[in-house]
Structure 1
Amino acid sequence: MHDLLDDAVDETPDGCALRDAAGTWNYRRLARYSRAAERWLRERGVERGDRVVVQLPTTRELVALFFGASRRGAVFVPLNPAMKEFHLRSVLENAGPQLVVTADDATARLGPLTPAPVVGLDTAWAGITGHDDDGDSRGGPEPSADPAADTAPDDAPLTSEDIAVLIYTSGSTAAPKAVIGPHAQVTFASAAIQAELDYRPGDVVFCRFPMSWDYGLYKVLLSCLGRSELVLADAESDLRLVQRMREVGATVVPIVPSLATMIATLARRETGEPAPVRMFTNTGAALPQATIDALREAFPGARIVRQFGQTECKRIAVMPPDEEFARPGAVGRPLPGTRVDILDPDGQPVPTGRTGEITVTGPHVMPGYWRAPELTARTFRTDAAAGGLRLHTGDYGRLDEDGYLYFDGRRDDMFKRKGIRMSTLEIEAAALDIPGVRAAAAVPPAGDRDLTLCVETDLAPAAVLRELSRRLEPAKVPAHCRVVDVMPLTQHGKNARRELAAMLDGSPR
C-alpha cells in the first residue's frame, strides 16, 4: 500500500499531499514521517501481522501512522473516535492488538479494556519525530529520510497477500465485524476506482469522512494515485463547510446524502464565487433529486457521480463521470477487471432486467471477516466457474443489457406487506419527492407495528400520507407517518433505522 505513496514522491515530491486544520505536508514530508512511524512501531515491538489499533481524529499524523504500519507489515485498525466502550470492548478483544494509539486524554479510558499497551498520540509523535517540541502540528524537524531504515535486516519481505487493514463495520451482527483488507485487494480496488474517477495533480479532495470508514481511508490512496491534495476535513464545523471548501479550492468532494443536503443548504446562503468543484462522488444511498438540483445550481459545471459498494470489496460500480445524465436509475457499471452477477435464491443467474441478489467476483473481493469463520463462509463463497471468491452482498438489484447495475434494496430493506414485496428505498424516494419533505426513513413492519414512515418536514402527517398515495400503489403506502425534529443517522450518514424502530416500539403512535 505504501508503494502508492512512494510512487507519488518519485513523481511529485514537492506536491501538496495533506492539509488539515493545523497545516500542510508535501508528499516527501509525508513519506519521511511514515518511515519514522515504521521505525517507532518496530521499537515498540510491533512485528509483521500484528494489529495496531488507532482511535484518533483524521489528521496528518494518522495518515503517517497508516503508511508507517504498512511499511512495517503491521495491520492498521482504525476505529471511529465516537465508538463507545460498549463496542470498544468487543472490538479490542476481537482485534487482539499489539499496540493501541489514541488521544492522550483517552488512554485512561482504553487502558482497562485491553492488555495491549495504550499510547497517547503526543507521546507517540514525540517518539516518531525524536523531539518534544511542538513545531508544525507536533512535527518538529523532519525525521531522517534514509530509505534503508524502512526495514530491519531480519524482516521478511512484505507480500501482497499480507493484511494491510481491518475495517470494522456494523450491520447484520450485534457487534462490529472486521473486513480483512490485504494489500493486493486494497491496491487493486484503489487503482480500479481511480481508472473511473480520474483524480488529477491539480485536484483538491475535500474529505469530510474519517479513516475509520473505508470511504475516508481510500481517499488517502486515491489522492496518492492522482498526485492530488487531500484536505482532511472531518473536524471542520458544519457551519463553515462551504466557506472552507472555497478557502482550500476544493475540486472533488465525496458526499453521502446527509452531507450533500447540508452543503446544498449552506450554499444557498453563501455569497461570492463558489468553490471550483468539478466532481461530487456519492455513496451510501441515492441522492434526492432536490439535493442534486441544488448542488448543480450552487456549483455550476460540477458532475455528480453515483457509486455503489460494500466494504467487503470496497466498490462494486461507478457511473462514469461523463455519463452523469445517462440511465438515471443506474448506480454505475462494474469496476474494470471485476464482474457482477445477479442470482436467484438457488444461486442461478436471472435474466437481464430481472431482480436478484447482487454478487461480485474479482481481485477486489476481500478474503472474509477477521476471526468470524461462519459469517465468512456465508458471505464469501467459491465461484465454481471462476474458481475464486464470490461475494454475496445481500443486496438486490438488476443489470441492463449494457451491464449497468440498478440497486433495488438491501436484504434488510426488502419486506413483504399485504402479499407484495417492496423496499424501504422506493417508499423513501417517493416521500422525498413530496415538496417540503427534507428527510425520510421507512421502518418495515415488525410484530404489532405496521409500516411507518418517519419524516423531517413542516407538513402534517396526514398530508404526507395523502401525497404518498398519489405516488405509490395502496399496499406500499405506510399505515402511519411520524414527524421527527431531526432524522437520526448512523456514523456513515445513513438512516438509523434501528433507532427509529426502537423509538416507534417504545412510544404510542
Structure 2
Amino acid sequence: MAGATLAHSGVGHLGEGAAPLGELVHELLDDAAERFPDRPALRDGGGVWTWAELDATSRRLASWLRGRGIGRGDRVLVRTRRQRDLVTLMFATFRVGAAFAPISVQMKPFHLAAVVADAEPALLVLDEHEMDLSGVAGAVALSDVLAAATGHDLDRSTTGVIGQDVALLLYTSGTTATPKAVVCPHRAVVFAAAAIARVLRYRPDDVIFCRLPLSFDYGLYQVFLGALAGAEVVLAADAPNAGLLASVRAAGATVVPLVPSVATMLTTLAARDPRPTGVRLFTNTGAALPAPAVRLLLDRFPGASIALMYGTTECKRITVREPEDGDLLRPDSVGPALPGTEVLVVDEAERPVPPMTVGEIVVRGGHVMAGYWRAPELTDRTFRRSPETGEVRLHTGDYGYLHPDGELVFVGRRDEIFKRNGVRASGVEIEAAAQDIPGVTGAALLPPAAGRDIVLFVATDLTPAQVLRELAIRLEAAKVPTDCRVLPAIPLTANGKPDRVALAGRLTR
C-alpha cells in the first residue's frame, strides 16, 4: 500500500521525565501544574499566570460551571479578546465534560447568531462591551463569570469525563455559506498534541510567541504544546504589526508559530533592525510558506530553524517536517506523516496511487476527529470508512503526492487545481512562483470560474506587466495568468490566510 506509515503507538511517553498521558485534555494542565507549578504558563497584556495559578483558576471556574448545572453533553461558547481568561474557561469546561467553542472576535453578528443557533450553548460568554450584539440573547459577560467564580472552592472531581467526550467544537467557515464545527473528542486532541510535541520538541525553557488567535486551532494548540513541555506561552494575537519584532524580543521568544503574513512582517522588520533575537524555531502551517520566504526568514534570523507542517482542523496535523536550518533539499515537501498516523494518496476510486502521482490526500490515525456538528451528510462525505478495514479515514479534499520515502508534497485543494490550455496547474504553485519575484511580498490566486480566467493578485510596487514577465521565466506558458492585479497588501482572514472572498469581491467593482 502506498503511503507514509508509522506504528500506531498511542500516546505513551513524550520524553525523559514526562509522565504517561491519559486521554483527557485537562490532564495536560494537571500534569504541567504538578511538574512545573511555579513556571510561567500564560502571559498576555493583562499579566502572567504560573501553571499552578492557571490550574487553580480553572478549577474554581469548573466549580462555578457545575453549580450552574453545566456538564457532559453541554456546550460553552466564548468570544473574547481576553486570551488568558479564555484559556482558563476552556480548561474549566473540559473538567465538567462540556464542549468548548472558542469564537473568533472577527466573526460578524450575522454569523455569530448562526453559530449560537447551531450549537445551542448552555453558556455563551462575551466581553462586556459586546453584550448588545444582535442575535445573542442570553449571553453572560465574562467579567461577571470571573467575579462569580472567585469565591468557589477548587473543583477536584476526577470522574464523569471520558476520552470519547467532545472537548472542542472548532468553527471554521471553509467553503460553506455559514460556519461549520469540527467535533474534537478529548482522546483525539490529546493524541494530536502529543504526536506534534514528539516532532517539534518544545522545551521547558521555551517561550512560545503566539501571534495567532485562539479561535484558530494552530493558535489554540500552542497552549497544549506549552503544557506538555512546561513552556511559557505568550498570547499576542493583538500585538501591533509595526511593533511585532520588538514584541518578539521583549517576550524573550524562542519559538514563533507563524503563517505567511506574519513571516512577511517579521522579515520586513528584521531587514530594518537586524539585531539578533533568541528565536530558535519557527513553525508554519495554515497556509504554505514558499521556499523563497523560508530562506529569507532563516537568513534574517540566524541560528533559527523552521518546521514546515501541513494539517487541517478535521485531524489537526497531518505531516510535520523535522526542523531544519540549512538549505532546503526538498523545498516542496511538508514532511512525513505525524507519529502514529498514516497518509495515503488515492485516486477517484479510493485506491492508493504510486509515489510521485497526484491524488487526494487521505489520513488515518488517532487524531482523526469525530466529524462535523449536526452535519451528517457532510460528515459521511469527508469521514469515510476504508473499503479494506472499515476504519474511518479523513478525505481531506486536498491534493498532493508522496515521495518514495513517504514525504508529502501538497499541491492544492480540489477547487484550487484546474486545467488551463490542457495543462494541470494549482494556485499554490503559481502563488509560490509569484512570491519568488524580488519585490513581491504577497500573492493570492483566484482559480478559474464561470465566465472568467484565473486572476492573480500581488502585493508589490512592480507593475502587472513586470510581474507577468517574471512569471513567464518561472512557469510554463499555460500557467501564467493574463490578469494580474497589484494591491498594497493582500487582504487576510482573521487567521492570517488570504481572504479570497474579499478578493473575488474586487472583481465586481
Q: Same fold (TM over 0.5)?
A: yes
Name the counterpart of 2:21: none
Residue identity opposite 1:99 in structure 2: L
Secondary structure (helix, strand or coil) at the match of 2:73 reads coil
C-alpha contact (below 8 Å) 2:306/2:325 kept by paired residues: no
Cα distance in 1 between the residues matched to 2:235 and 2:373: 28
- 2:124 matches 1:121: no
CA contact (8 A) 1:268 1:298 kept: yes
In 1, distance between residues paired with 2:278 and 2:460? 32
Letter aligned with residue 34 of structure 1: S
Per the alignment, residue 44 of structure 2 pairs with 20
Q: How many residues align?
A: 484
Equivalence for 1:177: 180
Task: Pick from 261, 264, 275 the counterpart of residue 264 of structure 2.
Answer: 261
- Could you give the per-residue CA deviations for residues 275-307 of structure 1, whole angstroms, max 9, x where no partner exists? 201100001222234432332233211001100
State whether structure 2 residue 156 is matched by structure 1 residue 150.
Answer: yes
Give the Cα–Cα distance (whole angstroms) in 1 for the partners of residues 107 and 378 of structure 2: 23
| 1:188-337 to 2 correspondences below 5 Å | 188-270=191-273, 272=275, 274-322=276-324, 325-337=328-340
Equivalent-residue separation in structure 2 for 1:296 and 1:73 (angstroms): 43
- What's the CA shift for 1:384? 3.0
Which residue of the partner structure matches residue 387 of structure 1? 390
Native 8 Å contact 2:361 2:396 kept in 1: yes
Conserved in 2, the CA contact under 8 Å of 1:58 and 1:232?
no
The residue that corresponds to 2:18 in the other structure is: none
Deviates more, 1:220-229 or 1:458-467: 458-467
Residue 30 (structure 2) aligns with: 6
Instruction: Indicate the residue corresponding to 1:139 in structure 2.
Output: none
1:121-180 per-residue CA deviation (whole Å, 9 max, x = no partner) reads 1111101213xxxxxxxxxxxx75x4xx333xxx96210000000000111211111000
- In the aligned structure 1, how far is the partner of 2:352 from the partner of 2:297? 38
1:238: how far off? Answer: 1.5
Conserved 8 A contact 1:57-1:210:
no
1:36-115 to 2 correspondences below 5 Å: 36-109=60-133, 112-114=135-137
Q: Which amino acid aligns with 2:394?
A: L
**Structure 2 residue aligned with 1:496:** 499
Cα 1:58–1:280 change in 2 (3 A) is: farther
Match of 2:14 in 1: none
**3-state secondary structure, aligned to 2:133:** helix
Partner of 2:416: 413
So what's the TM-score if we normalise by structure 2? Answer: 0.92
- Note if contact 1:276-1:299 (Cα within 8 Å) is conserved in structure 2: no
The whole-number CA distance in structure 2 between the counterparts of 1:451 and 1:12 is 53
Distance change in 2, residues 1:322/1:236 (3 Å): closer
Fraction of identical pairs, as percent: 51
> Cα distance, 1:358 vs. partner?
0.2
Following the alignment from structure 2 to structure 1, what is the Cα–Cα distance between the partners of residues 410 and 291? 16
SS at match of 1:125: helix
Distance across 2 between alignment mates of 1:105 and 1:469: 52
Deviation of the 1:26 alpha carbon: 0.6
Write the distance in 2 (CA, Å) between the matches of 1:387 and 1:326: 38
2:305·2:325 contact (CA, 8 Å) conserved in 1? no
Amino acid at match of 1:293: R
Residue 431 of structure 2 corresponds to 428
Q: Does the Cα contact within 8 Å between 1:42 and 1:72 map onto a contact in 2? A: yes
Paired residue secondary structure (2:249):
helix
User: Which position in structure 1 is the counterpart of 2:19?
Assistant: none
Separation of aligned partners in 2, 1:381 and 1:185:
17
1:378 aligns to 2:381 (yes or no): yes
Query: How far apart in 1 are the matches of 2:433 and 2:81?
Result: 37
What is the CA-CA distance between 1:485 and the residue it aligns to?
2.1
Deviation at 1:58, TM superposition (A): 4.8
Task: Quote the RMSD (CA, aligned, Å).
Answer: 1.5
Q: Which amino acid aligns with 1:371?
A: R
Partner deviation per Cα, 1:81-133 (whole Å, 9 max, x = no partner) = 110012111111111100101101111215x434xx31111111101213xxx
- Any idea what SS the aligned residue of 1:312 has? coil
Q: Residue 495 of structure 2 aligns to a residue in which SS?
A: coil
Could you tell me whether the CA contact under 8 Å between 1:58 and 1:211 is conserved in 2?
no
Instruction: Give the letter aligned to residue 118 of structure 1.
Output: A
Q: 1:358 to 1:449 in 2, by over 3 A?
A: same
Q: Partner amino acid for 2:129?
A: D
Q: Distance in 2 between matches of 1:229 and 1:491?
A: 24
1:451 is the counterpart of 2:451: no
AA at the equivalent of 1:477: V
The corresponding residue for 1:365 is 368
Question: In structure 2, what is the Cα distance between the partners aligned to 1:472 and 1:294?
Answer: 21
Aligned partner of residue 285 in structure 1, secondary structure: coil
CA distance in 2, matches of 1:285, 1:211: 17
Contact 2:304 2:325 in 1 (8 A): no
Shifted more, 338-347 versus 238-247: the winner is: 238-247
In the TM superposition, residue 386 of structure 1 has moved relative to its aligned partner by 3.5
Aligned partners of 1:34 and 1:68 also within 8 Å = yes
Q: Equivalents in 1 of 2:117, 2:67: separation in Å?
A: 24
The answer to whether the 8 A contact 1:280-1:305 is kept is yes
SS at match of 1:150: coil
Give how far 1:375 is off. 0.3
Shift, 1:323, TM fit? 7.9
> Structure 1 residues 289, 338: CA separation in 2 closer, same or farther (over 3 Å shift)?
closer
Report the Cα distance in structure 2 between the residues aligned to 1:326 and 1:49, rounded to whole angstroms: 48
State the secondary structure of the residue aligned to 2:484: strand
Distance 1:13 1:326 in 2: 42
| Mapped partners of 1:99, 1:301: distance in 2 | 46
> Kindly tell me: are residues 473 and 326 of structure 1, through their superposed partners in 2, closer, same or farther at Cα, counting changes over 3 Å?
closer
* Residue in 1 that maps onto 2:471: 468
